[in-house]
Each structure stands twice: as structure tokens, then as C-alpha cells.
Amino acid sequence: MEFIQTKTILSKVSYGEQWFGVDCNMNLYRGCPHGCIYCDSRSECYVIENYDQPKGKENALAILEQELRKKRSKGVIGLGSMSDTYNPLEKEYEQTRGALKLIRNYGFGTAIDTKSDLILRDIDLLKEIKEQNNVIIKITVTTPHDELAGIIEPHVCVSSRRFETIKELSDNGIFTGILMMPVLPFITDKEEDIRLLVRKAAEHGARFIYTYMSMTLRDRQRDYYYSKLDEYFPGLKEKYQRYYGNRYDCAVPDHERLWKAFIEECERYGILYRMEDIIKGYKENKTPEQYSLF
């Protein structure tokens, strides 16, 4: 793996109340090898060439420790927004595991987005962090069908393994749920699949599902997605072009009916789906002590 140096690692977020109550974000890798055909991080604005070949941030843990020491309050640190922090390289390099040790040592909380079962390796640390602060794990599942997951998310474990991962995390007392994002028009937007996904989530102990019934498309990310539609779903690119033109936010057709079905299933199984309820759910039993470290 190629390494790069970084000057800073934590970025303060101003939208925490709209996004899982996160206070800061960090990405320990630049780029991601999981190959999701819809990945927004391929967009030009992020200026990441060869996105599928991740680079490690060599000095990330040293910088993280410096930055955590300076923080005055113990917030929740998000991992995995621009790059899945549990990519296969993590098995060897343990950057994420190292970061979780620092998060634990300095008393912060964490919110992790991933599709990978490698997160199970770190259950010990997640439990230790949870003893002193808040932890929420968001496993992305976009379809209940393994074969389809293998096409749209080709280099990471299939959906059934992600459901098992949710179960193991939940069984260990970690507040875990699903990011059902994006929802791909004409591919993952069948009502029966959405109902099935919610049912499987409930069977595997998911506490929440968050979705927005939409996908985003722009510049070279759209080009990549369309090339994959041509490869795996012949004729669908033209349908997208007719339906969405150059639109960025591409809500699924008939999204009101799908929202209704989604909410109906979530309420049937007691799964949280509103952001404010999810944040309250994982923070309700803990108010991290706010104090000055230095």
C-alpha cells in the first residue's frame, strides 16, 4: 500500500444533529477498494485519483493523538464517511484499531460506517469505549439479496454476512443499525425488497434503519455508474438519462409509496428510522462527562 502524510485528521462537523450526533469526522485511508458502483466519493470535487486503490495516512495516529489531547469536550468521532475504514488493508495495518485505542484512551465516543465484517475484530474496543461514552455502528445494506450485492458492491462481504455482523454486534450490546443508502432507482427500489430488508434487520437485532430513498449522480461518478449499468443492466442507463437528465439528487420513482411501506415495516418491528430518535436511542443512557483534559 502507498502511504501519504497528513497535516490534520479530525474535521469538525456542523451538521451533527442531522447526521447521527457526530462531532468530528476522520478518514484514516484515502480511497476505498470495495468497488461500489454508485460510490459518491469518486466525484471530481474530492480530487481523489485512482479511488479504488486506497492510500494509508502514515502519520494519522500520531496526529490524532495530538488533536484528541487538545479537545476540550469528549464528543463522538465519526469514521468511514469518505472511505470504508475496514477495507482489506486494515487487516494488516490496523490504523482503525489504533485509532479506536486512542478514542478509548482519551474517553471519546465513536460512530462508524462500514460494510465490512472486519469490524467484528474490534468488538473488544467498542465495548470498552461504550463503557465511558457513546457508540453507534451503521452497517450499510442496500439490498437483501446477496447476488445483487455482489454486483453493486463487488469487493466487500455480501448482505447476508452484513446481517450476521449486525447480529453479533447487537448481541454484544453495541447499538447497531443499517444505512439503507443509496436506494438505486429501478434496481434496489422494489417494495417487496424494502419490506424484506426491514424484516431481516429486525431478525438480526438492528435498532435502526436510516434511508433517504434516493441516490446522487454527478460528473465522473455518474460516468462510472453508467458504465457499470451498461455492463450489468443493459438498457438501464438510457432509462436513467430519460428520467433524470443531469439531475444530482435522483429520488426513486414513486418514493412516497415506498416511504410508506418502509415506515410501516419499521413500526411493525419497532425499528427506529427518524434521525432524532436514532441519536436519542444511542445516547440516552450516557451523558459523557464534559471536562477539560489539559
E strands present in 118-236: 135-140, 176-180, 209-211, 214-216
* Distance of alpha carbon 73 from alpha carbon 292, whole angstroms: 6
Backbone angles phi, psi at 191, to 5 degrees: -55, -40
What is the smallest separation between the CB atom of 214 and ligand SF4, expressed in angstroms?
Answer: 15
* Count of residues touching ligand SF4 (by CB under 6 A): 9
**Which stretch, 32-40, 226-234, 236-244, 282-290, contacts ligand SF4 (CB under 6 A)?**
32-40
**Which stretch, 14-22, 30-38, 58-66, 141-149, contacts ligand SF4 (CB under 6 A)?**
30-38
Per-residue x/- track, 64-83, ligand SF4 (CB under 6 A): -------------------x
Residue type, 130: K
Q: Is 90 in the site for ligand SF4 (CB under 6 A)?
A: no
Residue type, 86: Y
Residue selected from 25, 27, 41, 221 as contacting ligand SF4 according to rule CB under 6 A: 41
User: Measuring CA to CA, which residue among 42, 191, 209, 204 is closest to residue 140?
Assistant: 209
Contacts of 238 (CB under 8 A, 6+ apart): none
* Distance of alpha carbon 250 from alpha carbon 105, whole angstroms: 42
Residue type, 95: Q
What is the smallest separation between the CB atom of 7 and ligand SF4, expressed in angstroms?
Answer: 22
**Which stretch, 36-44, 189-197, 227-235, 256-264, contacts ligand SF4 (CB under 6 A)?**
36-44
The residue behind cell 465522473 is 220
What is the smallest separation between the CB atom of 34 and ligand SF4, expressed in angstroms?
Answer: 4
**Which stretch, 21-29, 31-39, 57-65, 235-243, contacts ligand SF4 (CB under 6 A)?**
31-39
Q: Is 115 in the site for ligand SF4 (CB under 6 A)?
A: yes
